[in-house]
Chains A and B, each alone.
Chain A
């Protein structure tokens, strides 16, 4: 096919994708069913991971919970079991058609340090044998060092990179082959707004989140190039979430009422809607799409201006000070 004809086809496809996107915006597509499918959540012991687990549980998926903390992981498992009990469809109701086939989901817990490649591979093998084929992989586990670059111990920098970014290599390599065979699956990367733009003081965290997003996008293109359209990918970029991970972080106080720290439940609700409608990317709040776009067209001086206006350029300094203080307090208690 000559170039001109190809260009015409591509232009048509681009316009058509805008039409489809507009249509999806007007009429929300139906959420896909996940009952009976296996969902792996890393970092399920707390924060967003726990909420993702409960949301999938509500929709009667089989949960596989990974966390480095056994106790927290078991607590999440208990919550999931409670939800399974609550949402059990009543059998023999007689009237109406039972549209969901009766399926008894289970929750499986594994202690796994996702920063260790061997740990990921051996746990994934156990999951394959004990649970079955994984459909959903929620790469959620995340840490932050909480120190300025020059004061940060090197091991903590490495740890942030290994958990937030490198872990995605291993978990994806563990579960993707089967997804490729079946041409069916969904990989979710829980990144952060700090994967789209950065702020001073948390170089390690920003680097790891940008890396996770770079990985996600590159993989997304790889799957498209290989025509594996049955495997979906969703990128979740929440703004500051009120889970305690970034306690102390403050943007400009006059702007703060417009961009309060997000309620984790709201954040996960938006993310679930995106995942279940196969949306490639979701930012909460929506204003972040604007910030993201502005960043690509404005000169750097103007971007700094924008950050300073929002108080976003140094919003992590109080968080870092807070962390330092609590570490010192802990040390003085010993």
Chain B
């Protein structure tokens, strides 16, 4: 009896895979249903500048009820907050370093009391040290891990329980293609983004059983913001840096259609697939040719 069941599942399995691929193709061709953000309170970490700023503005534009900004630089947060308020959406900002666990929990409490329950958490805050391992400062290496990876643990622990109670919520992670395909010269960043990716994938699998609570992870290629200033790709005509506004639009789109993982641009899927097919030495030659071995040599970062 057990064998029959197993054989049945084994035969159904390729069919199920085929149906999933078909469903993905259909979603790609036909516009899927977009959920309404009218009751959602969105919190964006690192919302003062870069992609975070564009994300906050985009969520406001697409109808979010309230937007909350977290960041370390009050000036940037204030400016962004004023811009969003002027456009007609209720906006608040709080100074919070997500790398500091106690600060996260404290500010989460303040947010709950002053603004309300957060239903969309956007883990966007990130830093990069951008040096080779031996040239990296130990404290800077750790700081990157704390902000990019551990910070996401703390914010999720702070806001997810309420989302689960309400059966309504969304955890978003702005990750990076470097989590799936590393380069030299940014070892702190690649390590932290890989960790954050695993955290999101594990969380996504765990939350499949919780109706109403979803996850989205965005993996963009090099985006044209201050953070990676100076980084130079070898063939910018083939792989131009992404526009942060476009990344923000695609993120909000993915949240409204409950898409779990989005790679930007989609051509990056090939790089990731190649990684598991090619022998290591072949991969290294391709990386060298594509210029990823030298792209961080001119890195300046946020000045």
Contacts and interface: CB of A to CB of B under 8 A. Distances in A.
B293 A165 contact: no
Q: Which of B201, B208, B273 has the most CB of A within 10 A?
A: B201
Interface stretch (A37-45, A171-179, A243-251): A171-179
Interface string B170-206: 0000000001001111110011111111110111111
B202 A206 contact: yes
B129 to A, nearest CB: 12
B190 A215 contact: yes
A207 B196 contact: yes
A305 B275 contact: no
Which label, helix, strand, loop or mixed, suits the secondary structure of the B interface?
A: helix
A116 to B, nearest CB: 12
Contacts of A102: none
Interface in A167-225: 169-170, 172-173, 176-177, 180, 195, 197-204, 206-215, 217-222, 224-225
Given A7-B289, A201-B206, A218 B187 contact: yes
Question: What is the size category of the interface that chain A forms with chain B?
Answer: 35 or more
Given A7-B289, A302-B21, A207 B202 contact: yes
A25 B287 CA distance: 24
Contact of B182 (A198, A200, A214): A214
B211 to A, nearest CB: 15
Contacts of A206: 198-199, 201-202
B269 interface: yes
Q: Which of A17, A150, A180, A210 has the most CB of B within 10 A?
A: A210
B183 A254 contact: no
A280 interface: yes
Given A215-B187, A302-B21, A304-B205, A293 B198 contact: no
Interface in A226-266: 226, 254-255
B277 interface: yes
A309 interface: yes
B138 interface: yes
Contact of A169 (B13, B141, B199): B141
A307 B208 CA distance: 12
Interface residues of B, number: 73
A135 to B, nearest CB: 18
A218 B149 contact: no
Given A207-B195, A214-B191, A222-B187, A298 B160 contact: no
B134 A176 contact: yes
A42 B284 CA distance: 29
Interface of B: 2, 5-6, 9, 13, 16-17, 20-21, 23-24, 101, 132-134, 138, 141-142, 145, 149-150, 153-154, 156-157, 160-161, 179, 182-187, 190-199, 201-206, 208, 260-261, 269, 272-273, 275-282, 284-289, 292-294
5 contacts: A14-B285, A149-B153, A211-B192, A296-B275, A300-B260
